[in-house]
Amino acid sequence: MLKKIYIDNFKCLVNFELKFDSINLLLGNNGVGKTTVFEALRQIQFFVLGGWNVSGAFPLSSCTRWQNVVTQRFELEIEGNGGIYEYILRIEHKAQQSYIKYEQLFFNNRLLLNFNMGEGEIFNDDNISVVKYSFDQSLSMLPAITQRPDNMKLTWFRNRMLRFINIKISPNQMDSVSEKEQFLLNQSVDNYSSWYRYISQDQGKVFELINYFKEILDGFVSFKFENFDDRRMVLNARFSSEQDKNKIVSYRLDELSDGQKALVALYTILLSTKSEDYTLCIDEPENFLALPEIQPWLVELYDFCSEGKIQALLISHHPRLIDYLVSPSGEMLGNYFFERESNKPTQVRKLDHQETEEGGLKMSELVARGWV
């Protein structure tokens, strides 16, 4: 579980720290930095997984615009593998060049990786230094490390970074055509079909998903991939005909409505990641959903989080979601209210019980009035 993030000098986040629980709701007006937290997490994830070099993930333009500081600092604290991981990354931008000043990974306060000004050092599971070498100052060291029996702690962290799903669903971009399996779901979920190909290798997951979709989509029978051309496949949703239950009517994924595609994506994510120590960061999950669909999905998510099967970070402006999550007995919830003035850094405060219990109005009404 992601326990903490620290961000300094990234867009509107300056000396910014946020601690997380199993289910978290980020509230606040537009432009106060909620989505920027998700963006920072996504950049760190891609950087650590080797998708980007430092200037791709953290260009100079990502530094806080109104201050003249050229160093950025990011920290993650993740609980798992029987302990606490702490990842620290410091970046400097000089003369149009961006480079890593240091990158460190600790497990229970003991170093696993130490990269400092071009010199890297790796420690094994017994905290003994096993190798020192010079390394490219524009890349994270983590992707280059080969998994071995004596570095399981270090590689566990890298594998955990794969298990962040960080999305804002754009149903109109969800393509039914897939070229190959993809482990990571893109921010817009446009690669849903390729991601579904990956998760459908687990037949148990597919079985559970199909049964679930049968309950929420009238007449749904199954998903089926068919050849599109010699290298691509197309994902079809198959439904039984209203008149003849044995007759199957197929629709390409992209032919479903935006709401149905969003629903398919949300439930697939929920059901296929539970019990696998995932962190789901979902920006406005309720977008595109019909009103009766919001609470059932939220209740499933709540139960999975409550049972420790998943962690969720949500951004939402929807009253149904706000009032459900900001409830009097929601101690396991991290509900945060973001505020910011123009050209000033984001301030955040946790909504405590007193704040939600003292007044006479629902939290969504207080938010709508700007009274929080």
CB of 317 to other proteins, least distance (A): 17
Q: Sheet with 23-28: list strands edge to edge.
A: 164-167, 279-283, 311-315, 23-28, 333-339, 347-350
Tokens of 237: 């949703």
Rounded CA Rg of the chain: 22
The window from 60-68, 76-84, 286-294, 341-349 that contacts other proteins (CB under 8 A) reads: 286-294
Indicate if the alpha-carbon torsion angle 121, 17, 152, 52 is positive or negative. Answer: negative
Regarding 368 and contact with other proteins (CB under 8 A), the answer is: no
Closer residue to other proteins in complex, CB, 276/307: 307
**Strands 248-252 and 233-240, sheet pairing:** antiparallel
Closer residue to other proteins in complex, CB, 188/306: 306
The window from 71-79, 112-120, 178-186, 214-222 that contacts other proteins (CB under 8 A) reads: 214-222
CB of 309 to other proteins, least distance (A): 10
User: Cβ(54)–Cβ(44) under 8 Å?
Assistant: no
Q: Any residues with CB less than 8 A from the CB of 88 and at least 6 apart, and which? A: 73, 74, 75, 102, 103, 104, 105, 106
Tokens of 47: 């950087």
Selected binder of other proteins within 97, 147, 257, 343 (CB under 8 A): 257
Regarding 326 and contact with other proteins (CB under 8 A), the answer is: yes
Q: Any residues with CB less than 8 A from the CB of 211 and at least 6 apart, and which? A: none
The window from 65-73, 125-133, 265-273, 301-309 that contacts other proteins (CB under 8 A) reads: 301-309
The window from 83-91, 128-136, 168-176, 328-336 that contacts other proteins (CB under 8 A) reads: 328-336
Q: Which residues bind other proteins (CB under 8 A)?
A: 215-219, 237, 239, 249, 251, 255-257, 259-260, 263, 290, 292-293, 295-296, 299, 303, 306-307, 323, 326-332, 356-363, 366
